[in-house]
Every structure is written in structure tokens, then in C-alpha cells.
């Protein structure tokens, strides 16, 4: 069953850091070089100096001990020594509330930042929902080996149809002012509030309620969870007599109920680049056998029609100014099961992203799988306008727009122990880094 525990988190010292906005960030995998520089400009103590350590000049033959990983450790230790970072005096849970608005509707999502015990996927306690790339795992393990700190929480969903844990969290923070109340630079319209929960009665109630749960699903942070498992193995081999409660047996995680009313999934659109074997015109001609194709005047109209299809089988397409915007609506859903081969369940084959990847990209556009896996031929876009602009500048070839994956589809695939295609979900907002870190080199 799921084991969580409060921990003595390492946090920014409010006496030294008056503006938390300047030191928090998006997760490392959402930080490109430009955004990295923007975060660093906010403060010399921004968390990005610890979590986002890879730069172009650091790739290659530089030994790990002389690299950016060592610099990340130096930042961490220096900030602790000078009091920029402080360690909690007693173990705590952290209530993390995010308030945001989408299309005029305001949502409030409650999370619990905790130490989550690492378990192998075969145990069925924590499960993945997406495929992952191998490269980032190497980077994360190098950082973890050097830092010995779970510096940014992963995002995990847990089953709780009655939202009982949310109720317990609300009871614990009722009447208390938040310890943090801020926004983050990139998702700057999201209000981020954090409460430190140390009361033993509330801690026990939350921990006991979570203890019976299994089938938790990683929403974001697959690479970090897998890296945590690898790190745990290395540490257990090095310290065979260590306590089961040792820090390296855990990972920092923010847990959110699958039935939280503030749980929102956004679509991730597929921009194809460095690929000219099939032209946009040829794609539309080939797709005509399976899809009703209609030309539309602009991006907004295109997206409105995509999102209006409750089935999720209307896709948008843009191949440049000469081609314009089109919608592609699947004529017969039965072709899904005949055109998508392999040992997947019908639930997996029915996914919007599966139809896109297995039929539109692989069979109609004939984009090679290797180009998708290496990411040399694909860019994942939250903002469809950015993909359009990229194509208009000649930096990409075409883009497919799609509607968001639904939570019921995630649950269905996880129930079959199947992982969805990469970037099937974009849970919004992201779980930010810099609120609390979990040291792994000692008990907590």
C-alpha cells in the first residue's frame, strides 16, 4: 500500500527571501535555455541553479565530479551555510493549493507535498501512465548521485472518489495563514499557496487515510521516479544495513486526488520538423480515405471544431500559409482497431493520441518512429499559436492539433498496465520547484 511520511524539508528562509516569486520555477523538463536564463536573472538563488543543470557547453567528456552537477551541490550547500535555505525543525506535510482560471472558469486544486516511498511498478502501488525517453534519466541520476536531494517533487494522482484526504488537509490548514503565497514566472496567473502541517493529529489522520491506497498514477515526473528507483538500488547496495526509513527509499511527491475538481488536463499538439518525405498536400490526400476533411479560415475556428468533438477524433492540421487550416474527422471508428496493430487493449487504441501517432503520423504522414523517439522530428506544443508561427518561419513542416486526454482514459490505460504515448497529458498547472526539498542522505 502507499506509504507516505512527513519530512524535515529544506525550504527558502522567509527572513532572507522576501519574494518567493524570484526563487521558484517550473519543473526542470519545462525549462529551455532561454527560460533558464530568465529564472537566473530573477535571483542568484533561484532553484533552477540546482535542478536545471544541463547546458550545451557541459555536454561531452566533462567528468561528472567537475561538471554542472558539482556546481548544483555547491549552490545547495552554500545556500544552507549562509541561511538562504533552512531545514525544518520537525517533520511536516505541506499543503500546496493552486488557484487558476481557464476560459473564464476558476479552479482550485489541492495537493499534498510529502515523502512517498519508492516502489517498483510491478507492485501496483505507483504506476506510470506515459512512455518516456531514456536520455533524461541519465541526467537526473547524475544530479541525484551528486546532490543526494529530491529537489523537485513529482506529480502523483491517487484514487479518492470522496476526496476524503482533501477534507483532512483543509481541516489541518483551517484558520492558518499560508506560509507561502506567491506566483511563478512562467505560469504567472496561477496563485501558489503553501501551508506547513506539523500537528501530529492531522499528520496521522492524513497518513492513515493514504495508507490503504494503491494504483497511484504518476502524472508528471516519470523520469524522476525511475531515477529514484535506480538511486535507491545503488544506495541499498552501498548501505545494506540502512534503515527502511532511510531517505533514499523515498521521493518528494505532490499528491493530488484523481477526483479533485481542480484537476485539469490540456492538450499537447504535435509539430513535425526536419521531415520532408511527405508534403502537407500528400497528407491531406491520403487522409481523405479515413477522415472527413474540411478547410477552415483560422486557428480559432480550427481549435473550436477540434474541441467540439466529444469522441476526440477530430484533429486540426496546418501545413503553412499555402495549405491553410484543416480539420480531419474520423469517418468510422472501427478502422482504429484494424489499423492499429500490436498487443494493446482497445482502450489504448481508442486514445486520441494513439490515433494521432499510429494512424496519422505513422501510416498517413509516414513520419519514422525513430524521429519521434529521438525527438529530432517532433516538438510538443501546449500553445498552438507557437506551432503556427514556427511553420510560418520555415522552422517546421506541419502540425496536428488535438483535444485533451480525459482522466477516464488515463484510468482505463493504467488499469490495463499500459503506458500511453509520450506527452499524452499536460496536467495544468505544473507542480513548481522550490517550495520544499527532501534530503536523501539521512532519515527524515
> Nearest 5°: CA angle at 114, between 81 and 203?
110
pLDDT of res. 56: 45
Domain identity same for 76 and 159: yes
Q: DSSP H helical segments within 44-127, as ranges? A: 48-51, 68-82
Domain identity same for 28 and 60: yes
Q: DSSP H helical segments within 43-113, as ranges? A: 48-51, 68-82
pLDDT of res. 239: 92
Assigned domain for 420 exists: no
Interatomic CA distance for residues 28 and 10, integer angstroms: 18
Torsion sign (Cα): 85, 90, 91, 95: negative
Residue reference for cell 482505463: 412
**Intervals of the chain under pLDDT 70:** 54-66, 132-136, 442-444
Interatomic CA distance for residues 187 and 427, integer angstroms: 13
pLDDT of res. 60: 46
Domain identity same for 315 and 375: yes
Assigned domain for 349 exists: yes
Domain identity same for 196 and 224: yes
Assigned domain for 281 exists: yes
pLDDT of res. 444: 53
Assigned domain for 424 exists: no
Query: In sequence order, which residues have a C-beta less than 8 Å from that of residue 268 and are 6 or more positions away?
Result: 380, 381, 382, 402, 423, 424, 425, 426
Query: In sequence order, which residues have a C-beta less than 8 Å from that of residue 119 and are 6 or more positions away?
Result: 125, 126
Domain identity same for 274 and 260: no
pLDDT of res. 54: 55
pLDDT of res. 139: 84
Interatomic CA distance for residues 39 and 185, integer angstroms: 8
pLDDT of res. 136: 65
- Which cell numbers in the block locate residue 46? 533561484
Domain identity same for 225 and 309: no
Assigned domain for 422 exists: no
Assigned domain for 421 exists: no
Domain identity same for 182 and 276: no
Domain identity same for 322 and 231: no
Number of domain units in the chain:
2
Domain identity same for 206 and 226: yes
**What are the C-alpha distances in Å from 421 to residues 358, 411, 426?**
10, 14, 12
Neighbours of 406 (CB within 10 A): 15
Assigned domain for 411 exists: no
Domain identity same for 375 and 228: no
Domain identity same for 104 and 252: yes
**What are the C-alpha distances in Å from 155 to residues 62, 354, 415, 443?**
32, 23, 19, 23
Domain that holds residue 331: 268-403
Q: What is the CATH number of the domain that holds 297?
A: 3.30.1760
Assigned domain for 393 exists: yes
Domain identity same for 314 and 379: yes
Amino acid at each position: 500500500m502507499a506509504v507516505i511520511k512527513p519530512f524535515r524539508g529544506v525550504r527558502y528562509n522567509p527572513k532572507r527571501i522576501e519574494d518567493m516569486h524570484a526563487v521558484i520555477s517550473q519543473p526542470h523538463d519545462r525549462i529551455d535555455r532561454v527560460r533558464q536564463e530568465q529564472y537566473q536573472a530573477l535571483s542568484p538563488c533561484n532553484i533552477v541553479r540546482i535542478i536545471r543543470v544541463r547546458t550545451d557547453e557541459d555536454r561531452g567528456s566533462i567528468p561528472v565530479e567537475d561538471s554542472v552537477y558539482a556546481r548544483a551541490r555547491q549552490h545547495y550547500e552554500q545556500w544552507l551555510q549562509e541561511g538562504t535555505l533552512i531545514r525544518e525543525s520537525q517533520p511536516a506535510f505541506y499543503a500546496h493549493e493552486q488557484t487558476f482560471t481557464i476560459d473564464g472558469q476558476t479552479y482550485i486544486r489541492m495537493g499534498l507535498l510529502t515523502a512517498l516511498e519508492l516502489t517498483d511498478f510491478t507492485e501496483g502501488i505507483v504506476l506510470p501512465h506515459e512512455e518516456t525517453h531514456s536520455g533524461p534519466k541519465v541526467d537526473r541520476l547524475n544530479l541525484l548521485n551528486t546532490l543526494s536531494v529530491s529537489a523537485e517533487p513529482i506529480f502523483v494522482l491517487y484514487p479518492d472518489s470522496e476526496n476524503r484526504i482533501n477534507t483532512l488537509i483543509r481541516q489541518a490548514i483551517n484558520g492558518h495563514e499560508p506560509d507561502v503565497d506567491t506566483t511563478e514566472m512562467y505560469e504567472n496567473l496561477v496563485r501558489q499557496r503553501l501551508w506547513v502541517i506539523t500537528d501530529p493529529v492531522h499528520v496521522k489522520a492524513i497518513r492513515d487515510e493514504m495508507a490503504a491506497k494503491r494504483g497511484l498514477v504518476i502524472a508528471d515526473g516519470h523520469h524522476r521516479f525511475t531515477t529514484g528507483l535506480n538511486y535507491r538500488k545503488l544506495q541499498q547496495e552501498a548501505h545494506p544495513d540502512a534503515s527502511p526509513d532511510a531517505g533514499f527509499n523515498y521521493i518528494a511527491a505532490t499528491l493530488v486526488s484523481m477526483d479533485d475538481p481542480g484537476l485539469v488536463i490540456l492538450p499537447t499538439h504535435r509539430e513535425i520538423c526536419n521531415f520532408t518525405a511527405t508534403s502537407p498536400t500528400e497528407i491531406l490526400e491520403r487522409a481523405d480515405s479515413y477522415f472527413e476533411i474540411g478547410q477552415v479560415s483560422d486557428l480559432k475556428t480550427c481549435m473550436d471544431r477540434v474541441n467540439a468533438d466529444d469522441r476526440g477524433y477530430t484533429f486540426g492540421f496546418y501545413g503553412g500559409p499555402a495549405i491553410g487550416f484543416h480539420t480531419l474527422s474520423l469517418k468510422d471508428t472501427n478502422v482504429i482497431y484494424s489499423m492499429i496493430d500490436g498487443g494493446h487493449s482497445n482502450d489504448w487504441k481508442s486514445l486520441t493520441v494513439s490515433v494521432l501517432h499510429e494512424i496519422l503520423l505513422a501510416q498517413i504522414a509516414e513520419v519514422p518512429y525513430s524521429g519521434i523517439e529521438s525527438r529530432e522530428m517532433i516538438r510538443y506544443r501546449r500553445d498552438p499559436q507557437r506551432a503556427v508561427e514556427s511553420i510560418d518561419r520555415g522552422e517546421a513542416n506541419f502540425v496536428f492539433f488535438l483535444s485533451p486526454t480525459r482522466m477516464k482514459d488515463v484510468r482505463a490505460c493504467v488499469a490495463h498496465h499500459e503506458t500511453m504515448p509520450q506527452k499524452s497529458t499536460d496536467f495544468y498547472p505544473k507542480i513548481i520547484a522550490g517550495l520544499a526539498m527532501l534530503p536523501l542522505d539521512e532519515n527524515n
